[in-house]
Structure 1
């Protein structure tokens, strides 16, 4: 009876410790409060990972408390003493077989979802391209189709796939909007691609996830998801009211500093591509028509 009460006390103590450690965790964690299909797939993968890992961790934690109590060094302990015991095939199969099965299941889900997320998740109209340049310590968003630009915020239409093309004109960083999807690196000389979609209107928190110096804490931005009508009205308002961003303005913006939200009615042509190439890289999204035009121009010059 005493042994059973002691074991129950250990279980209660372990549960209390878990509650204490998780007391500061909010139920509305951004990664679980999803607002898009990409984030939904990733949330499902996180939940599957938690469940599979718990199959190992919870029994191990409970066994730890049980072993501490059962084999404690006290005069009244009746646990068997077997110094010649060396192995158990059953236990070997359990503690090697279960992790192997879990890794296999988790790997299958991860591979499947990773390949799913390499393609657009929504098919409502053509994707909206937004070019993103991470700077010290701010984010620049370029809209090549609309010929406008913003700093530390961007606006996107709801239920429309957004193709974020990412690069850096500063140390490497990481672009992350937790409620819309996972993070993607921004690197000098490279143009990375990230597909995201918002399936409901709202303002979503975005941030840089790589430490880049003293202004790192200010590398936050806001993603406003609005209806198509509101998005088009916003574009027209920026074109009418915001100043232009010339080459000199971009050079000043690229200087390490902390900036507030800003809008620009235009920006230098091919600013994103020139930024990537200037840092020694090549534009990721190759256009075969441009290649054909370049080849034709060389051919004409040769003649």
Structure 2
């Protein structure tokens, strides 16, 4: 999960913003650090050339330096943030090869459900996408609020109960990259991770064909069972029986899970047998 090893255009652009921001802020940090050492050295007690000025109160030159450099730094940082926030708008489509892949992500306690409505399949804690293809995510939460993040592809964004957020990404290199929930959501939060498999176009087509033959079917009843609090240790694949499932979750036609519940043992939520210890 190395953010300095981007594998897509969004992550690469975010890395550039991060590095540029650090360089701009060094315009204050470096001179200030040097000045502290220089002043301490010059005004040491053994330096007879240093002038003692007990009545010194104001210097226009000092004020100019003290205020102009931070002001320029804030202006530059503001410009970087302004331009970057528009160029990297999560809802802005990303160019790529082939037709975009639509993926509907649902955060649960404590697992990730990924629905491919056009392919009529769904997965748990495993995301497979073709290389170079635009990925259009629609995200919601079936329980409490958390955040979706694939560090090497970029674009951390919140998933919230009763609403849909949108995110556009692209993977440019074949490989497996870790994704995670980056916002605390209860007892099983540390294990709420998933693999993002970026594969070739033919491999993706083969994966979709095999996934569509899965013996497990995801419908409303299956979703309610999946939404129960648990930590899934193995990825799962389903045939999607209801293409409107995501809409029903986001609109709360399917009631959301209550979130982490405390039992009499205040140190651990109810349903302890389903949790990772």
- Residue aligning to 1:47: 19
Quote how far apart the aligned CAs of 1:279 are: 7.5
Partner of residue 93 from structure 2, selected from 120, 128, 134: 120
Structure 1 counterpart SS, 2:7? coil
Is the contact made by 2:131 and 2:174 (CA closer than 8 Å) also made in structure 1? yes
Question: Are the aligned partners of 1:188 and 1:279 in contact in 2 as well (CA < 8 Å)?
Answer: no
Whose Rg is larger? Answer: 1
Which structure has more RCO (C-alpha within 8 Å, separation ≥ 6)? 2
Output the CA distance in 1 between the equivalents of 2:42 and 2:230: 61
Contact 1:158–1:226 under 8 Å retained in 2: yes
Match of 2:245 in 1: 271
Q: Report how far residue 80 of structure 1 moved.
A: 2.3
Could you tell me how far 1:278 is from its partner in structure 2?
0.9
Q: Offset of 1:196 from its aligned partner?
A: 0.3
TM-score by length of 2: 0.85
Higher share of residues assigned helix: 1
Q: What's the TM-score, normalizing by structure 1? A: 0.78
Contact 2:219 2:245 in 1 (8 A): no
1:248 is displaced (CA, Å) by 2.1
Partner of 2:270: none
Structure 2: gaps of 5 or more residues: 255-277
2:216 corresponds to which of 243, 251, 255: 243
Structure 1 stretches (4+) deviating beyond 4 angstroms? Answer: none
Q: Measure the CA separation in 1 of the matches of 2:172 and 2:93.
A: 13
Segments of 5+ residues of structure 1 without an aligned counterpart are: 1-28, 281-303
Deviation at 1:141, TM superposition (A): 0.3
Given candidates 186, 191, 195, the residue that maps to 1:213 is 186
- SS of the residue 2:196 aligns to: strand
Q: Pairwise CA RMSD of aligned residues?
A: 1.9
> 1:227, CA displacement in angstroms?
1.0
